[in-house]
Amino acid sequence: MRDRFCVAAIGYRQADTEVRGMFAVDADMNRQILAVAKTAGFKSVFIVSTCNRTEIYGYANHPHELAALLTRFTKGTVGEFIHHGFFKQGKDAMHHLFRVAAGLDSQIIGDYEIQGQLKQAIAMARAADLIGPIMDRTLNFVFQASKKIRATTLLSSGTVSVSFAAIEWLQQKVNPWPMKALVIGTGKFGTNVCKNLLHYLPQLQLHICNRTNEKSEELAAQLQAGYLPYDELAASLNSFDVIITSTAAPEPIVLPQHFVPGKQRFIVDLSVPANVHKDVANIDGIEMANVDEISAILEQTIARRHMEVPKAEAIIAEFEQEFYEWLHTYKHTPAIKLVKQHLAGWAKQNSCEFAATATNGSPEVDALVKQTVNNLMVNLKHKSEKGCHVIAAYEQFLNHPALSVEAS
């Protein structure tokens, strides 16, 4: 079973966005592929499709079977997928899944967004009855490893976007008392900055300004923040303690003449070209960071995360070993069930005889059956002489004091 676990994949390392787009799978396509897989007799299949990757996992004779299944509904052909993608089987495929779930295969290392995408893909496959018992247990080990990595390493620590890095810079600077903050710019980036400020620095009194007043007024109402009309910007800048700019203005809109020296202020310019005149940094009391300085925080974060990779890999190895030990035991399940039935049946047939001779405090028969089977499973897990272990299990059961009966 282990050797039939496969993945067929194409990702950011193998192809550009145009090629990856040929194999993108939306929710409707995902359901169609799963339906065909079910009809074709596949027992476990799930598909992960994001901007950075499309991967199909499942049990098959060869990964190309999964590629053929996937490409029945994509723009790209199976031949193109084979040319651009990659394929893994057995332990290699399993290790890849562990690494993906842990964020080790993400474009930004340690990015756990993929874990939510994985869980969503698995939920769709489960709804289609395409997550069998072995796959279910496999995923259990995969997510346990990911959880431990997140809890015990720094693989996902720190910020991984410029907007978050700006918050991290401010957290080191801003005092805990309420301060007036202004975000200039309400594009996607500026909106994210506003939301992050409210979440991570709730003590700030946030105000929003944009060249188009309607946009800033709408966002301010949505976030329950203050609204500053654009034509009041120049006259109001001196009253703010924190200023963050994120606009597409072709030249600086925050100028030295807007400030009175001596007041402590923190200014972050996230715009290219710069929104804040370079001479603003020379005003007494102002601390300023531009997009390059904020990006340096990201570089430090990524470097720190890379140092955690060996720890994460060691945790994956630990859970992989546990999974393979479980799988080794699982393949004996039919035989173990048969042994359990035989022991329980023998006990039932002979219950009258040994009940009279059972000593006080002896375990109940069902507990004894369970103990015997557990011992058998432990021996099968660690030793290879399967027939001898079964014989020993029967002897252990029959010779237990609770079942010892004088020969008539």
6 is catalytic: no
Give the ranges where 153-278 is alpha helix by DSSP (H): 162-171, 188-200, 213-223, 233-236
**Given CA atoms 155, 160, 165, 168 in this order, what sign does their dihedral have?**
negative
Structure tokens at 301: 């974060």
Catalytic residue (one of 51, 209, 352, 388): 51
Structure tokens at 85: 């993608």
Contacts of 43 (CB under 8 A, 6+ apart): 59, 130, 132, 135
Round to whole Å and give the CA distance between 107 and 58. Answer: 24
Provide the CB-side half-sphere exposure for 351 (13 A, CA).
9
Tell me if 244 sits within 8 A of 184, measured CB to CB: yes
Question: Is beta strand 204-209 parallel, antiparallel or unpaired with respect to 86-89?
Answer: unpaired
Q: Of 188, 101, 168, 118, nearest to 304 (Cα)?
A: 168
Structure tokens at 365: 């028969």
Question: Is beta strand 53-59 parallel, antiparallel or unpaired with respect to 45-49?
Answer: antiparallel
Contacts of 156 (CB under 8 A, 6+ apart): 103, 110, 111, 112, 150, 305
Structure tokens at 74: 């994509």
CA distances from 319 to 44, 149, 272, 315 (A): 21, 11, 46, 6
Structure tokens at 343: 């022991």
Round to whole Å and give the CA distance between 389 and 395. Answer: 10
User: What CA dihedral angle connects 65, 66, 71 and 73, to 10 degrees?
Assistant: 120
Q: Which residues are catalytic?
A: 51
